């Protein structure tokens, strides 16, 4: 009898132990997350950051406006943060220290491919939300230089942007379309202000400038010189876009810098990118909030941001949440 009682008590203890362990596991599973569960497996973060650029640029004020819209429309507290812009933003997203960021389309593509400034540090956890507005490649010179075409740059002193900048590969890729390399020019690595000062004092002949138009440094030069923006021929534009799909066709408008006619060229674009581990539902909500509330953005560049153009020249994979929104409104990338 004593033996039967002992067996019964042992079995009871084991059963109670299993019940307590199950309860403990259930509690841990339901109390460890700092996010709010939505439908299915979707998780809605309580807070996200948008990486922008310096306070004097365009990314920062736009990022502040986007942050306010996202906060209001989605309930996710969103903050715009200053940064070193495109390349730094991509690295910060890779490290998981922010969720959304501004970048140039070409810089995002270099990051995804592990090329140029990202050689050996390929970034594979970032996808696109969409493009915003063009940052135009301008080949700047003056009437007195005699330079009228890209071929005329051969043997000339030409600035291709500051070291490590996105302008440098822009210049290299455009020259490539003309069968040229940096060996065909006297390459100078100068900032935009240094470039226009060099053109003015005659120490350089021309400069590649990648920026929204009108660009302040070039406007300053136009106050004392007759500006020439060197055109890029249509067949070269087509070939460039085919090989490097983050470019789009663009022009420097008539009247800019005193130009008598519009000048054909290409542009990369400012874009929004996002970490790929944000859920489809969250990125859908963010994309919808921004593109359907642009009337709340007072910055002049907002007039150039259009949902129907947001998939043109993206250059990297689009996040499924953003794609869902653009599919819903019938937006596809240009052929």
What residue ranges define each of the domains in the chain, with the CATH number in brackets?
41-132+270-328 (3.40.190.10), 135-268 (3.40.190.10)
SS3 151: helix
**183/213: higher pLDDT:** 183
pLDDT higher than threshold 80 for residue 211? yes
- Residue 7 has a pLDDT of 44
Q: Identify which of 94, 146, 81 has the alpha carbon closest to the alpha carbon of residue 123.
A: 94
For the record, the structure tokens of 262 come out as: 């519009």
Average pLDDT over residues 266-287: 97
Q: What percent of the chain has pLDDT above 70?
A: 87
pLDDT higher than threshold 90 for residue 63? yes
pLDDT higher than threshold 60 for residue 5? no
How far is CA 291 from each of CA 33, 206, 295, 297, 326, rounded to the nearest angstrom? 30, 38, 9, 11, 10
Q: Is the Cα torsion angle 328, 329, 332, 333 positive or negative in sign?
A: negative
- Residue 85 has a pLDDT of 86
- C-beta of residue 62 within 8 angstroms of C-beta of residue 53: no
**102/31: higher pLDDT:** 102
Average pLDDT over residues 185-211: 94
Quick one: pLDDT band at residue 214, thresholds 50, 70, 90? confident
Mean pLDDT lowest among 12-16, 27-31, 182-186, 273-277: 27-31
- Residue 32 has a pLDDT of 30
User: Beta-carbon neighbour count of residue 143 at 10 Å?
Assistant: 11
Quick one: pLDDT band at residue 42, thresholds 50, 70, 90? low
- Residue 4 has a pLDDT of 44
Task: Output the average pLDDT for the chain.
Answer: 87
For the record, the structure tokens of 197 come out as: 């000062």
Average pLDDT over residues 313-321: 94
Quick one: pLDDT band at residue 84, thresholds 50, 70, 90? confident
Q: What's the pTM value of the predicted model, to 2 decimals? A: 0.75
pLDDT higher than threshold 80 for residue 158? yes
- Residue 2 has a pLDDT of 44
DSSP 318: B
- Residue 13 has a pLDDT of 42
- Residue 65 has a pLDDT of 97
Q: Do strands 186-188 and 157-159 pair parallel, antiparallel, or not at all (unpaired)?
A: parallel
Average pLDDT over residues 14-35: 38
Q: Where are the beta strands (DSSP E) in the chain?
A: 36-37, 43-44, 47-51, 77-81, 100-104, 126-142, 157-159, 186-188, 206-211, 227-229, 248-252, 263-275
Average pLDDT over residues 206-216: 89
CB-based burial of residue 295 (10 Å sphere; 0-12 exposed, 13-18 middle, 19+ buried)?
A: exposed
């Amino acid at each position: 009898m004593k033996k039967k009682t002992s067996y019964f008590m042992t079995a009871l203890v084991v059963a109670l132990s299993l019940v307590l362990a199950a309860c403990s596991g259930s509690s841990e599973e339901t109390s460890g997350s700092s996010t709010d569960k939505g439908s299915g497996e979707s998780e809605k973060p309580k807070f996200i950051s948008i990486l922008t650029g310096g306070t004097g640029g365009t990314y920062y004020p736009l990022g502040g406006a986007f942050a306010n819209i996202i906060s209001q429309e989605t309930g996710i507290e969103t903050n715009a943060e200053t940064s070193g812009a495109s390349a730094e933003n991509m690295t910060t997203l890779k490290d998981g220290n922010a969720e959304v960021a501004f970048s140039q389309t070409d810089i995002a593509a270099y990051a995804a491919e592990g090329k140029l400034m990202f050689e050996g540090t390929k970034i594979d956890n970032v996808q696109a939300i969409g493009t915003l507005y063009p940052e135009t490649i301008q080949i700047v010179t003056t009437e007195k230089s005699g330079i009228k075409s890209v071929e005329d740059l051969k043997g000339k002193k030409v600035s291709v942007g500051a070291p490590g900048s996105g302008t440098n590969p822009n210049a290299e890729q455009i020259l490539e379309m003309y069968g040229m390399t940096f060996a065909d020019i006297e390459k100078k690595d100068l900032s935009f202000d240094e470039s226009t000062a060099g053109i003015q004092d005659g120490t350089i002949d021309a400069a590649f400038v990648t920026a929204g138009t009108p660009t302040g440094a070039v406007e300053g030069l136009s106050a004392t010189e007759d500006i020439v923006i060197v055109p890029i021929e249509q067949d070269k534009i087509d070939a460039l876009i085919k090989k490097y799909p983050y470019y789009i066709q663009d022009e420097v408008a008539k009247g800019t810098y005193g130009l008598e006619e519009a000048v054909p060229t290409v542009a990369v674009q400012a874009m929004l990118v996002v970490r790929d581990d944000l859920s489809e539902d969250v990125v859908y909500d963010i994309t919808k909030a921004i593109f359907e509330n642009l009337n709340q953005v007072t910055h002049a560049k907002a007039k150039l941001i259009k949902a129907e153009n947001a998939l043109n020249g993206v250059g990297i994979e689009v996040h499924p949440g953003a794609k869902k929104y653009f599919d819903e409104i019938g937006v596809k990338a240009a052929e």
